[in-house]
Amino acid sequence: MADPNAVTNQAPPLDGVNFFTRDAPLGDALRPYADLAADPELSRIGALAGSAEALSHALPANQYPPVLRTHDRYGHRIDEVDFHPSWHWLMERAVGFGLQAAPWTSTRPNPHLTRAAGFYVWSQVEPGHGCPISMTYAAVPALQASPALAAEWVPQLAATEYDVRRLPGAAKRGVLAGMGMTEKQGGSDVRANLTTATPTGGDEYLLDGHKWFCSAPQVDLFLVLAQAPDGLTCFVVPRVLADGNRNTFALQRLKDKLGNRSNASSEVEFHATVGHRLGPEGAGIRTIIEMVAATRLDCVVGSAALQRRALVEATWHTRHRSAFGGLLADKPAMQNVLADLAIESEAATALAMRLAAAVDASVGGDQQETAFRRIALPLAKFWVTKRTSFLVAEALECLGGNGFVEESGMPLLYRESPLNSIWEGSGNVNALDVLRALRKPESLDAWLVEMGTVSGADRRLDAAVTDVLQGLADLGEAGARRLAARMALCLQASLLLRHSTPAVADAFVGSRLGGDWGGVFGTLPRTTPFQEIVDRTIG
Q: What is the mean pLDDT of residues 107-114?
A: 96
pLDDT digits (tens, 9 = 90+) for 313-368: 999 999 999 999 999 999 999 999 999 999 999 999 999 999 999 999 999 999 99
**Residue 486 confidence (pLDDT):** 97
User: Is 518 part of any domain?
Assistant: yes
Q: Is the pLDDT of residue 71 over 80?
A: yes
Q: 515 and 418 in one domain? A: yes
Same domain, 400 and 450: yes
Same domain (yes/no): 227, 295: no
Q: Strand pairing partners for 179?
A: 215, 223
Together in a domain, 331 and 390: yes
User: Region 390-411: what's the mean pLDDT?
Assistant: 96
- Do 409 and 489 lie in one domain? The reply is yes
Cα radius of gyration rounded to whole Å, the chain: 23
For the cut 80, the answer to whether the pLDDT of residue 1 exceeds it is no
Residue 474 in this model has a pLDDT that exceeds 90: no
CATH number assigned to the domain comprising residue 178: 2.40.110.20
- What are the DSSP calls for 12-76, one per residue? PP--S--TTTT-HHHHHHHTTT---TT-HHHHHHHHHHTSHHHHHHHHHHHHS--EEEEE-TTS-
Compute the average pLDDT of residues 16-36: 97
Together in a domain, 259 and 401: no
pLDDT exceeds cutoff 90 at 473: no
Residue 2 has pLDDT above 90, yes or no: no
Residues 35, 115 share a domain: yes
Is the domain of 296 the same as that of 322? yes
Q: Structurally, how many domains does the chain consist of?
A: 3
Write out 66-80 in H/E/C secondary structure. Answer: CEEEEECCCCCEEEE
Residue with the bigger pLDDT between 185 and 341: it is 341
pLDDT attached to residue 187: 81
Shared domain check, 307 and 271: no
- The rounded distance, in Å, linking the Cα atoms of 435 and 136 is 29
Q: How confident is the model at residue 103 (pLDDT cuts 50, 70, 90)?
A: very high
Identify whether residues 91 and 220 lie together within a single domain.
no
pLDDT, tens only, 484-510: 999 999 999 999 999 999 999 999 999
What are the distances in angstroms from CA 516 to CA 90, 148, 511, 531? 43, 57, 5, 19
pLDDT at 389: 98
Task: Indicate whether 539 pLDDT > 80.
Answer: no
Q: Which of 285, 305, 321 is the last residue of a domain?
A: 285
Beta strands (DSSP E) in 154-308 are: 177-180, 196-201, 204-215, 221-228, 231-238, 250-254, 265-278
**Among candidate residues 258, 285, 312, the one where a domain is terminated:** 285
Whether residue 481 lies inside any domain: the answer is: yes
Q: What is the pLDDT of residues 200-253, one digit of tens each?
A: 999 999 999 999 999 899 999 999 999 999 999 999 999 999 999 999 999 999
Domain boundary among 233, 265, 285: 285
Whether 420 and 327 share a structural domain: yes
Determine, yes or no, domain membership for 517.
Answer: yes
* Average pLDDT score, the chain: 95
pLDDT tens digits, 272-290: 999 999 999 999 999 999 8
Residue 236 sits in the same domain as residue 338? no
Residue 469 domain-assigned? yes
The CATH code of the domain that includes 437 is 1.20.140.10
Question: Contacts for 162-170 with beta carbons within 8 Å, 24 or more apart?
Answer: 162/88, 162/91, 162/92, 162/95, 162/96, 164/88, 164/218, 166/80, 166/239, 166/240, 166/246, 167/240, 167/244, 168/238, 168/240, 168/241, 168/242, 168/243, 168/244, 169/220, 169/221, 169/238, 169/240, 170/242
pLDDT in tens, 460-471: 999 999 999 998
Return the pLDDT at 188: 80
Which domain, by its residues, includes 346?
288-535
Task: Give the whole-number percent of the chain exceeding pLDDT 90.
Answer: 91
